[in-house]
């Protein structure tokens, strides 16, 4: 993960730009439930969040369920996720962890990893 942070006053983050790359390992990729989980988490942050798939130069709005589901992100896809603005670093970390946890689907269905 790379990024920079500007601060004001008591170390409060003013703005940051961060980016990370991660492989989707979820069995069927970002179908409906994982896409909803991803975009819901993305929307919880005030910064902009964008996603590029498999080295594409096309950046999709990471808060748009239509854009994320429409990208047909499959298992093995490489996602580049970038965030810009307040709490960008935290947003990137949370989204990357969500993907690493397979969107918490194992927990929801009573299965263990």
Active site residue 31: yes
- HSE, side-chain direction, 13 A CA sphere, residue 55: 1
Q: What is the pLDDT of residue 13?
A: 54
Residue from 31, 33, 74, 101 carrying the catalytic annotation: 31
pLDDT in tens, the chain (113 residues): 444 444 444 455 556 899 999 999 988 899 999 999 999 999 999 999 999 999 999 999 999 999 999 999 999 999 999 999 999 999 999 999 999 999 988 765 554 44
Closest CA to 95 of 51, 29, 64, 31: 51
Q: What is the pLDDT of residue 15?
A: 64
0.75 surpassed by pTM: yes
Q: Domain boundaries in the chain? A: 2-104
Q: Which CATH superfamily is domain 2-104 in?
A: HPr-like (3.30.1340.10)
Q: What is the pLDDT of residue 100?
A: 95
Distance between CA atoms of 47 and 81, rounded to whole angstroms? 12
């Amino acid at each position: 993960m790379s990024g920079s942070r500007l601060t004001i006053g008591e170390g409060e983050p003013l703005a940051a730009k961060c980016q990370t790359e991660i492989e989707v390992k979820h069995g069927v990729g970002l179908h409906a439930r994982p896409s909803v989980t991803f975009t819901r988490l993305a929307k919880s942050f005030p910064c902009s969040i964008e996603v590029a798939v498999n080295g594409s130069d096309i950046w999709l709005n990471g808060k748009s369920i239509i854009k994320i589901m429409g990208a047909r992100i499959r298992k093995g896809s490489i996602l580049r996720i970038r965030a810009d603005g307040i709490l960008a670093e935290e947003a990137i970390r949370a989204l990357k962890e969500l993907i690493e946890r397979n969107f918490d689907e194992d927990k929801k269905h009573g299965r263990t990893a």
